Each structure stands twice: as structure tokens, then as C-alpha cells.
Amino acid sequence: MKFENGHYLLSGGINPLKLVEKYGSPLYVYEAETIERQYQRLKAAFQVEKLKISYACKALTNISILKFIKQLGSTIDCVSIQEVQMALRAGFAPVDVLYTPSGVHFSEIEEAVALGVRINLDNIPAIEKFGEIYPHIPICVRINPHIMAGGNLKTSVGHIDSKFGISYQQMPLVQGILETTGMKLEGLHMHTGSDILNPDAFIAGADVMLNLAKDYPDLDYIDFGSGFKVPYKPNDLETNIEELGEKLSAKFNTFCQEYGRAITMVFEPGKFLVSEAGSFLVTVNVVKHGVTTVFAGVDSGLNHLIRPMFYDAYHRISNLSNPEGKTQTYNVVGYICETDTFATKREIPEIAPGDVLCMHNAGAYCYSMASNYNSRLRPAEVLIYQGKDFLIRERETIEDLFKHQIDVF
């Protein structure tokens, strides 16, 4: 979304206020061109013989978004059997789906095998059982590289005490299982966290992965995960993808020469692809003056966008209805019976009841983490593409809340 000639406009010149008139509030809006821009930027950054971009779909799973990203040439990373089923419904071939579960019952892994997708395992008991039952099916292994990286402890997943992955120090145990069962290890995988700013954190993880890879001569790919930081505010810092691409491409190309053949470099961006594409539009219900604070209460809450409360995440907020008004200091709060504060002491152009506010960077881990808390209904979703708006998810109704309940009285 850009500010031009006194108005905020979405790609194709679409006025977001018109979308609220058309589809109601609150409303999630996604700009397809932004997703495509991010995809092409990432693809251009890495100069290797074989490169694959695999969308980490937990960030945003709307079926229309999945289909659009597939059209760009992406494969897909799924963390649950339900995401696998959605990916297949969106048209991804099983070979282009990597299933990366954590702590699931083995029956879910068996279901993924039956669907024919690639399997990525992150614990030794699962690898042992898989080798006993499916020794003929290649697997990928998720490595814990013992690297603390990311913007928040809750989103740092590659450190030594993380539940995710197999410690690189435990790989001799994996090697023993492979030798006993005859299983092929087709890939190595890591993911160290989210909002990682420093390219050197990725390089450190890559060093661990490439050093391990020397012991496995039959690899098809190495998946370096993602976690790239995107800007959340004007002049905010972000991961220098081009710098990372230059450094890691050189390192990877040297490895492939020493390995004796080219294997595939894989990245699995989620937030990087969809975060900046999303805008969450809400309407102000009330402006409440406290003793020391002015509250702008909106028609949404942590049931729709929980990241500020869950991760202390920052989302820039614009007043679409009065973009050039005199700024005042507000706490923007929700309508949930909890402390659901979107922003504290934020300078925003003067807000009045009925104004439409935009929470930017609302494409990743926003709708996908939404709930029906307080029996509130989830909002609609709209996709902007080539100057047109498309409803891609209907707003929930009260009937949806009762749909699966069983009245026994």
C-alpha cells in the first residue's frame, strides 16, 4: 500500500476504503504483485546451478494464495497433514511438497507417506520407526545447528534447547540407522528462526550444514530454511538478501565442486513472501479519553491479529480516513475481553469514530493464527491482482460457530 496524492492506494490504484465499503470491516487484503516481487527478488539473489523456492505455507494458507504462489514456480513446505492436504488441493504435485512435522503421532507421518509427499523428520525415534517400515522411501532430516538467531526467543528455533530438529552432534546416530535400514538420505534441512537480520547467522548455519553434507554422498538438496527479516516501519532494517545471496552462493558453488556434482539449494520463505503483501483494515468504534491515555477502540482484537500480544510484534498503523490530519498519541486496542493492545503510545493522524485504520505487514501469521475467541467471527479475505479485487474467503457468520456443535439437551 502506497500513499499518493493524499490517499492510500493498493496496487492497481485500488482505494482500500472502497474495499471496506464493498466487503465490510474488519478485512484482510493481500496484494499479489508484492508476493511476486518478493519471490523474484529472492530467486535473483542466489546464483547457483539448481535453486528451489519452497513456500512455508503456515504463514498464510488461503487456497488462492497457494495457487498464486504455485504459478510463480514455487514448491511448498508443510508442517501438518492438513497443510499437506491443502497443498495438494491447490495443485502442488506430491513431489513438490515437503512435509516437516514436529512431535506428531507416527500415524500422521504414515498418512503423508500414503499421499506420496516428501518426508522431513526431526527426531531419532521417528527415523528409526520410519526405517523399519519404509526403508525404500528416501527422507530428509531436520538439523538443529545450535545457533541462536531471530527477533524473539519465541521464534528462535535453532538453538541447542529448541524442540526442533536433531542436534548436528547426534548425526552419527542417524548415520547408524541409515546403514542398518538401507534408507537413503535425500536432503538436509535447517530452520533457525524468524526475523533474522544478520546474513552471517545464515552463513554460520550453512557452514554446519555443508560440513555435515560431506558425509552423505547421495544428497539431492540442502534446505537452508528461511527467517529473513522484513521491514515493519519506515526506514526499518531488513535482511540484505543480495548480500546473503552473494556470500552463500559462492560458498555453495565451492561445496558442489568439491562434492562432485550440483545439488539443489532450497529456501523456504513464508513471512518474506507474504508479510508486506497484507493489510488488515479495521474500523474505529470509539475514541476513549482516559486520565493519561487516549484509546482508539476498533472492531477487531487478538482473535484476528494476535502477533502484537503474542510476540510483542510491531505493526505500523495508518489512518486511511484522515491520512494528513494532525498526529496525536493513541493506544489502539481491540474489543476482546483481554488486554488486546495493537499499539501503545503510537503517533497517528487524529482518529474519530468510523475512521478506517490499516495495520500493515498483515500477510504473515495473522489470519492463519486467527480464532473465534469471545465467539467473535473471523473476517473476510480479499486478493488484489492486476487492478482487480477478488473475495477469497467469505466473512464468517453466526451459523459457522454452531456448525460443528452438538446440542445434547
Q: Is residue 247 part of a domain?
A: yes
Closest CA to 205 of 217, 220, 222: 222
CB 359 within 8 A of CB 317: yes
Place of cell 535453532: 158
CA gap 208, 400 in Å, rounded: 48
- Looking at 241, 271, 301, the residue that finishes a domain is 271
Sequence-ordered strand ranges (E) for 59-175: 75-78, 97-99, 118-121, 139-144, 166-167
pLDDT in tens, 188-244: 998 765 566 677 878 888 888 899 999 999 999 999 988 888 999 888 888 899 999
CA gap 189, 101 in Å, rounded: 12
CA gap 406, 347 in Å, rounded: 47
Does 372 share its domain with 264?
no
Residue 304 CA from chain centroid, whole number? 16
Domains in the chain, number: 2
Does 169 share its domain with 303?
no
- Looking at 219, 254, 271, the residue that finishes a domain is 271
- The overall pTM is greater than 0.75: yes
Q: Is residue 35 part of a domain?
A: no
pLDDT in tens, 93-121: 999 999 999 989 999 999 999 999 999 99
pLDDT in tens, 366-378: 999 999 999 999 9
Dihedral sign from CA coordinates of 379, 384, 388, 391? negative
Average pLDDT over residues 370-389: 97
Q: What is the mean pLDDT of the chain?
A: 92
Q: Is residue 335 part of a domain?
A: yes
Average pLDDT over residues 109-137: 96
CA gap 239, 227 in Å, rounded: 9
Place of cell 489470519: 367
Average pLDDT over residues 11-20: 96
148, pLDDT greater than 80:
no
272, pLDDT greater than 50:
yes
Does 355 share its domain with 338?
yes
Q: Which amino acid is at 135?
A: P
Query: Looking at beta carbons, which pairs linking 255-263 to residues 24 or more positions away fall under 8 Å?
Result: 255/210, 255/213, 256/48, 256/49, 258/214, 259/213, 259/214, 259/217, 260/217, 262/48, 262/49, 262/50, 263/50, 263/219, 263/220, 263/221, 263/222
Q: Is residue 38 part of a domain?
A: no
Does 263 share its domain with 349?
no
364, pLDDT greater than 60:
yes
CA gap 248, 194 in Å, rounded: 18
Catalytic residue (one of 78, 256, 337, 358) = 337
Does 113 share its domain with 222?
yes
CA gap 54, 268 in Å, rounded: 4
Tell me the CATH number at 260: 3.20.20.10
Does 54 share its domain with 14?
no
Does 12 share its domain with 52?
no
Q: Is residue 407 part of a domain?
A: no
Tell me the CATH number at 282: 2.40.37.10
405: buried, middle or exposed (CB in 10 Å: 19+, 13-18, 0-12)? exposed
Of residues 233 and 28, more confidence is placed in 28
Does 187 share its domain with 113?
yes
Does 71 share its domain with 193?
yes
Q: Which structural domain, as residue segments, surrounds residue 169?
A: 46-271
SS3 at position 54: strand
Q: Provide the grid cell at 275.
A: 508479510
338 annotated as belonging to a binding site for a ligand: yes
Does 65 share its domain with 20?
no
Q: Provide the grid cell at 405.
A: 456443535
365 annotated as belonging to a binding site for a ligand: yes
CA gap 194, 201 in Å, rounded: 11
Predicted pLDDT of residue 200: 81
Q: Is residue 40 part of a domain?
A: no
Predicted pLDDT of residue 191: 73
134 annotated as belonging to a binding site for a ligand: no
- Looking at 238, 271, 304, the residue that finishes a domain is 271
Does 116 share its domain with 248?
yes
Closest CA to 284 of 271, 266, 268, 300: 300
pLDDT in tens, 297-343: 999 999 999 999 998 899 999 999 999 999 999 999 999 999 999 99
Q: Provide the grid cell at 175.
A: 548415520
H or E element at residue 266: strand 264-267
Predicted pLDDT of residue 197: 60
Predicted pLDDT of residue 194: 56
Does 191 share its domain with 313?
no
Predicted pLDDT of residue 155: 45
337 is catalytic: yes
The angle formed by the CA atoms of residues 282, 338 and 292, to the nearest 5 degrees, is: 80
Q: Is residue 285 part of a domain?
A: yes
pLDDT in tens, 239-259: 899 999 999 999 999 999 999
- Quickly count: other Cβ atoms within 10 Å of residue 44's Cβ: 12
227 annotated as belonging to a binding site for a ligand: yes
Length of the chain: 409
Strand pairing of 221-223 and 264-267? parallel
CA gap 373, 336 in Å, rounded: 8
Q: Is residue 37 part of a domain?
A: no
pLDDT in tens, 39-62: 999 999 999 999 999 999 999 999
